[in-house]
Amino acid sequence: MARLLLLGAGHAHLDAIRAIPTLVTRGHAVTVVGPGPCHCYSGMGPGVLGGTYPPRAMALPVRRMVEAAGGTFVADTAVRIDAPGRAVHFASGLRLGYDVCSCNVGSVVAHRLPGGHGAADDGPDNSDGPGGPDGDGGGGGAPLVLPVKPIENLYRARQALLRLAARGPVHVVVAGGGPAALEVACNAAVCLGRARGHGAATVSERDSVTLVAGRTLLPRLPERARLLCRAAAAARGVRIVEGARAVRVAKDGLLLDGGRTQPASVILLATGVAPPPLFAASGLPVGPDGGLAVNAHLQSIDHPDLFGGGDCIHFTPAPLARVGVHAVRQGPVLAANLAARLDGHARRTTGKSRASGQPGLAPYIPRPGYLLVLDTGAGTGVLHRPFGGAELCLGGRLAFLLKRAIDTRFLRGHLPPGGTRPGECPWDATA
């Protein structure tokens, strides 16, 4: 028997969670620790903000999935990994030992802005602002600041926009120039436009949505895809500010590096992501931005019983983009390698094998290029897919329908019978 400890029930651990019955049959014990009973699928987060999907549509009830499979779920947050001592310390004071541990704790929003207490991106209630966690983003003057991670915050943003729209004009500023920033800006515009009751998927004259993109919008996308994204943003009434960076949250908006303040009642931070400080704080080998340094087998380069996948790792063979596509594709490799390592442990403890090497670990081989489909709100999208030297770009309804088909198929593949139940996710106020 060997003990498997999974930190985080994110995209990269879903295959390992699905394999729990097999692991238990082989005599292993599996414990999964995550901050809450549900995990949010980011692909649908912007659609929840825009109202395309109800909040539960993006949630996977991981506690129920783990327990139904024969594992143990603990609601907690890892704060330190003691790899030499094979134990993990949690925020509650709990300490759990392991034989094999895997980390899939995702990422946090990078470049937090001073003045906005933007560090509040990893707790159960992440809404924050100079006015405090309940910063009203309106009447009191203090903007409400919400990082786009964790993804539940996009639902919180929707609730805040609807609440504020009932009181008066709402001015949203999205900080960031990448795909998440564009999706969030377009869907905030849809949310506000529809809140005004005309069914329009565009921001009304009373309100505003401004995207402060830094140097330029979507610098990593080719010109054709950028044009489609600009057209989508224009259709939603989103104003794009380029050549300006957000530097701090002011009492009435967002201060830009030119000295101008962009008035805001709500500030959404989409300024890129980075691994959480957990690994560096634990003295583990990390990459340049603090991701757990792993080899091709998704195994810590210094600690063979420690694995990881998704946004939180630094893949040493070739640094990877922090997109869900890699987390999802790493899932089966991670699940197989964890099982192999556990079996190796069990064999050693029962004296059936003296082998201490790598029992048949599989490598993760990243495929070049990936399909990117941005949700630009109200059932539209922008698709980009590189093919060797060429690329496919497509905007509009078809792009969205393809994204929806991929996202719903992925979720259906993991959801337990009956899906996510009303009231199962503590943040879902619609339950």
- Binding to ligand FAD by residue 118, rule CB under 6 A? no
Backbone angles phi, psi at 154, to 5 degrees: -70, -35
E strand or H helix that includes residue 230: helix 223-235
Q: In sequence order, what are the residues at sequence separation of 6 or more whose Cβ sits closer than 8 angstroms to the Cβ of residue 419?
A: 56
**Contacting range for ligand FAD; rule: CB under 6 A; set: 18-26, 100-108, 110-118, 225-233:** 100-108
Stretch that binds ligand FAD, among 155-163, 176-184, 347-355, 358-366 (CB under 6 A): 176-184
DSSP 3-state of 190: helix
174 belongs to the binding site for ligand FAD (CB under 6 A): no
* DSSP per-residue string spanning 154-189: HHHHHHHHHHHHTTS--EEEEE--SHHHHHHHHHHH
325 binds ligand FAD (CB under 6 A): yes
Q: Are the C-beta atoms of residues 326 and 310 closer than 8 Å to each other? A: yes
Q: Is 345 in the site for ligand FAD (CB under 6 A)?
A: no
When binding is defined by CB under 6 A, the residue of 15, 128, 183, 343 that contacts ligand FAD is: 183
State which residue, 3 or 348, has the beta carbon closest to ligand FAD. 3
Residue type, 325: V
**C-alpha dihedral (287, 290, 295, 301), degrees to nearest 10:** 90
Cα 29 from Cα 374, distance rounded (Å):
39
Residue 88 touching ligand FAD (CB under 6 A): no
What x/- string results for residues 23 through 62 when contact with ligand FAD is judged by CB under 6 A?
----------xxx---x--xx-xx----------------
Residues with Cβ within 8 Å of residue 231, at least 6 apart in sequence = 395
Within positions 129 to 148, which residues make up the interface with ligand FAD, using CB under 6 A?
Answer: 148
Please count the other Cβ atoms lying within 10 Å of the Cβ belonging to residue 387: 9
> From the CB of 332, what's the least distance to ligand FAD, in Å?
14
Taking CB under 6 A as the criterion, the residue among 104, 126, 271, 380 binding ligand FAD is 104
Identify whether the C-beta of residue 45 lies closer than 8 Å to the C-beta of residue 151.
Answer: yes
Q: Which residues contact 112 (CB under 8 A, 6 or more apart)?
A: 118, 119, 121, 147, 269, 271
Nearer of residues 9 and 16 to ligand FAD, judged by Cβ: 9
What the block records as the tokens of 85 is 């001592």
50/304 with CB nearer ligand FAD: 50
Give the binding-site size for ligand FAD (rule: CB under 6 A): 36
End-to-end CA distance of the chain: 40
The answer to whether 81 contacts ligand FAD (rule: CB under 6 A) is: no
Residue 334 binding ligand FAD, by CB under 6 A: no
Least distance CB 8 / ligand FAD (angstroms): 3
For ligand FAD, the closer of residues 34 and 115 by Cβ is 34
Q: The tokens of 378 are what?
A: 């109200």
Confirm or reject binding of residue 150 to ligand FAD (CB under 6 A): yes
Q: Is 78 in the site for ligand FAD (CB under 6 A)?
A: yes
Does 275 participate in binding ligand FAD (rule CB under 6 A)? no
Residue 8 sits in the site that holds ligand FAD (CB under 6 A): yes
Binding flag, residue 271, ligand FAD (CB under 6 A):
no
Q: How far is the CB of 407 from ligand FAD (least distance, A)?
A: 7
> Are residues 370 and 323 in contact, defined by beta-carbon separation less than 8 angstroms?
yes
The residue whose two tokens read 């008066």 is 168
9 binds ligand FAD (CB under 6 A): yes
- Is residue 90 within 8 A of residue 33, CB to CB? The reply is yes
Stretch that binds ligand FAD, among 102-110, 133-141, 297-305, 353-361 (CB under 6 A): 102-110
Residues 212-251 that bind ligand FAD (CB under 6 A): none
Does 77 bind ligand FAD (CB under 6 A)? Our answer is yes
Q: What is the spatial distance between Cα 30 and Cα 7, in angstroms, rounded to a whole number? A: 11
User: Phi/psi at 337 (nearest 5 deg)?
Assistant: -70, -35
Least gap, CB of 150 to ligand FAD (angstroms): 6
Say whether 132 sits in a helix, a strand or coil: coil
User: Which residues of this chain interact with ligand FAD, rule CB under 6 A?
Assistant: 7-12, 33-35, 39, 42-43, 45-46, 77-78, 104-106, 122, 148-150, 180, 183-184, 276, 278, 310-312, 322-325, 327
